[in-house]
Structure 1
Amino acid sequence: MSKFAFKTYPQPGTRPDFKADAARVCDCLLSGGIAIVPTEQGYGLLASDPAAIERSFAAKQRKHGHPLGIIGNYGLSRQIHILPAERHEMVRVWNQEFDMSIGVVGPYRHDHPLLTSSLDEETLLKHTKSGTLGMFVGGSPILKEVVNLVLSKGRLVLGSSANLTGTGQKFRVEDVEDAVKDAVDIIIDYGLQRAHVYGVGSMNIDFENLKVLRFGSCYEMFRDYMSRFWDVELPEGPPVPCVPTQ
């Protein structure tokens, strides 16, 4: 049995219950803890309390200047990001009509109550860059539920991939380094994640300038979507891995 079994859910003999597991994660985050959670894009490292965020940086051996992102939803992005209505609509359709995930980057409302009440100035600086803020919009059912629960308490979820910096996205809990798992308070293990066929995490798009900041999973679909529905031509991304059919 894994040495992390005592803090891993589902417990042996039980099956995933994303609402119950999300409630456990929410309680953990609101009490200052750190969680590993399946995001569909791989496993994520989540925190909410400023001190826990610092522990997340330490666990990942992450250098300052590489900001973590807010984990949110379309509604929160609409409130916080300062973008033209059409750009917000691009995010909405991709996320809500197609049920797809994306990293949204853009200028933001510095005085938004959730930012000013949840994060001190020093912490906020670590999550912004050049006047922009990144927010992951979408994800797995459990991640969406965690976000909704934490937001209902007037707090934010912040996070990054659950791995040592520079080692790549992890799509199974067993592949997450022990140093990271040692640092967290709860682990939700739902097995292999959907985006494993890409071998990378989510894409990040600058929606102010319609610029690709990071190619990621499903980028070829997003590129087609932007061309088809918005007449926006984006650069071709890296080759998509080919998974042979049986």
Structure 2
Amino acid sequence: MAVIDVRGDAERVFNALKDGGIAIFPNDVGYALMGGSEDAVKRINSAKGRGGHKRNAFLCGLDTQRELHVLDARSREMIEAITSDYDLPLGAVAPFDPGHPMLRNVPPGLLATSTAHGTLAMLLNAGPLFREICRLSRDNLHPIFGSSANLTGTGPKFRVDDIQPAIREIADITVDYGIRKYHTYKRSATIVRFPELEVVRIGSCYELVADVLRRHFKVELPDDPGTDANPSGHLQEFALPDLSAG
């Protein structure tokens, strides 16, 4: 008998998000803080103290990513190799189709804080509960945006007990699956911009992602300087325009 109810938990999370709420739930690279409406995402960013140079991530499965991201065949093959063949989590940033049904009714303000230079960031292949919530989001054409469940600058949280009270208090639902799979990395997901193959953040499973790209595609990613030199792994922290300026 299963000790966790992934399907039931996903339905409870999605129902809260569909009603415009905020949810904390686990994925393989930490706990996520996601909103189901523009107001919810604004409350998330306010509680986190998030800078205007940061963008929200879009939650979706690989099926939606294939449709939404506008990429060449080689870039698509790379993402598939990392997430499907090698079953690794990945944050993928790439040009996107704003006319896709999942984004067609997203308020302009929310889309602006979730995109930059015509690109959209997506977390992919981050665990069973994550996949089930993605499925419900797609089936109901209800987009979900958010980021890590933490105060900005404090790093990802791999246990619910480590999430600051100010963050836990804004959630309408919290799902606790204990310590997360890739906690030993002490970083959130690795993020790569396609098709440029620019590393935005060195994160969980980075050496594995780099190995896949090196062996199968002859691509060399930069070396990881280590968490002592770069705790967050960000290589382009302030590269995007600050939407809060002015």
Is 1:195 paired with 2:182? yes
Give matches, 1:46-85, under 5 Å. Answer: 46-85=34-73
Deviation by residue 1:84-132 (Cα, 9 ceiling, x = unmatched): 0111111112111221110000111122221122x11111000011221
Q: Deviations over 1:124-164 (max 9, x none)?
A: 00001122111111111011101101211011121200000
The number of residues matched between the two structures is 227
Return the alpha-carbon distance in structure 2 between the equivalents of residues 30 and 78 of structure 1. Answer: 23
Say whether the 8 Å CA contact 1:201–1:216 is kept in structure 2. Answer: yes
Instruction: Judge which range, 226-235 or 105-114, deviates more.
Output: 105-114
CA deviation profile, 1:68-87 (whole Å, cap 9, x unmatched): 11011221111111110111
Alpha carbons 1:114, 1:154 under 8 Å: kept? yes
Q: For residues 24-39 of structure 1, what are the structure 2 equivalents within 5 Å? A: 24-39=12-27
Kept in 2, the 8 Å contact 1:69–1:159? The answer is: yes
Q: CA contact under 8 A between 1:74 and 1:91: conserved in structure 2?
A: no
| Correspondence for 1:168 | 155
8 Å CA contact 1:202, 1:217 repeated in 2? yes
Higher helix share: 1
In the alignment, is the contact (CA less than 8 A) between 1:48 and 1:157 conserved in 2?
yes
* Unaligned residue ranges in structure 2 (runs of 5+): 229-246
Please list, as runs of the form range in 1=range in 2, the aligned pairs for 1:3-152 lying within 5 A after superposition: 15-117=3-105, 119-152=106-139
Q: What does residue 4 of structure 1 align with?
A: none
Structure 1 window deviating more from structure 2 (197-206 vs 103-112): it is 103-112
Task: Report percent identity of matched pairs.
Answer: 36
- Alignment RMSD (CA, Å): 1.5
- Counterpart residue type for residue 97 of structure 1: D
Which residue is equivalent to 1:6?
none
Query: Residue type matched to 1:90 in 2?
Result: M
> Equivalents in 1 of 2:94, 2:137: separation in Å?
23
Asked if 2 retains the 8 angstrom alpha-carbon contact of 1:105 and 1:204, the reply is yes
Tell me if 1:181 matches 2:181: no
Structure 1 residue 240: deviation in Å?
7.8
